[in-house]
Amino acid sequence: MQDTVRLDKTLGQTHLVAWDLPLRIFHWILVTLIICAWVSYRYAENFSDPLLKWHRLNGLAILTLLVWRLLWGVAGSGTARFSSFVKGPRAALAYARSLMGGRTQRYLGHNPLGAWMVLALLLTVFVQASFGLFTVEHNDLTAGPLYRFVSEEATKFASRWHHRVFDWLLLPLIAIHFAANVLYGLIKREPLIPAMITGRKPVADYEDLAEAGHPGRPLLRATILLAVSAALVLGTIRLLAGRLI
């Protein structure tokens, strides 16, 4: 099926499909897994899980999802493709100026500033989860599956920064991301959070409308790419370490 920008009139007015279903599922599962990763670490003793089994499984699931997002950024819908929404510094500055002016540029997908925030969040989560593969926890009973492949000093470094990246980078980025989305809704009247739930935005003069195509059979394509991602992440770790957790 040829890529098209689909219209949906079921909401009482004409809307455009902004985010495909696989991308929305990815977004909310990733949010859930990050919360579960923190809970499963912070309250491990309450769950009778001193070896952090559930925490480590969360980390593997997060890494698998991130690889899927990388693949979906190439093979997904127009608004999900990195080539369509990641712009250079000049475009980001132009968009920032438009926020201060009378007419703010509107985007069906990520705006140029939001795109850099998305990349920063994905990269930070990836770095934090990757450090977890090489960590040894304070009880010396729990370790990431790849800790034997690095020196003791490197393991201490990974263990230290596994926590610091979460506290010093990821949490502030999440707070900024959430606050920006709320402010867009209140001040600019742009429904960013509802759009990530429904997948739709009202018809408007969007700057990226021409790039917002949607491929056929997105769920089938997403499922295949998820299987590929799991094979790459879990298969590589199992091959190298002989175990996953």
As given in the structure block, the two tokens for residue 189 are 């009247």
Residue 231 lies in a domain: yes
Residue 20 lies in a domain: yes
Backbone φ and ψ of 143, nearest 5°:
-150, 150
Residue 108 lies in a domain: yes
As given in the structure block, the two tokens for residue 235 are 């298969």
Give the number of domains in the chain: 1
100-114 residue pLDDT tens: 876 778 899 999 999
Where in the sequence is the domain holding 170, given as residue range(s)? 7-241
Residue 139 lies in a domain: yes
Residue 2 lies in a domain: no
Is 127 within 8 Å of 163 (Cβ atoms)?
A: no
Which residues does the chain have with pLDDT short of 70? 1-13, 102, 138-139
Residue 1 lies in a domain: no
155-175 residue pLDDT tens: 999 999 999 999 999 999 999
CATH number at residue 188: 1.20.950.20
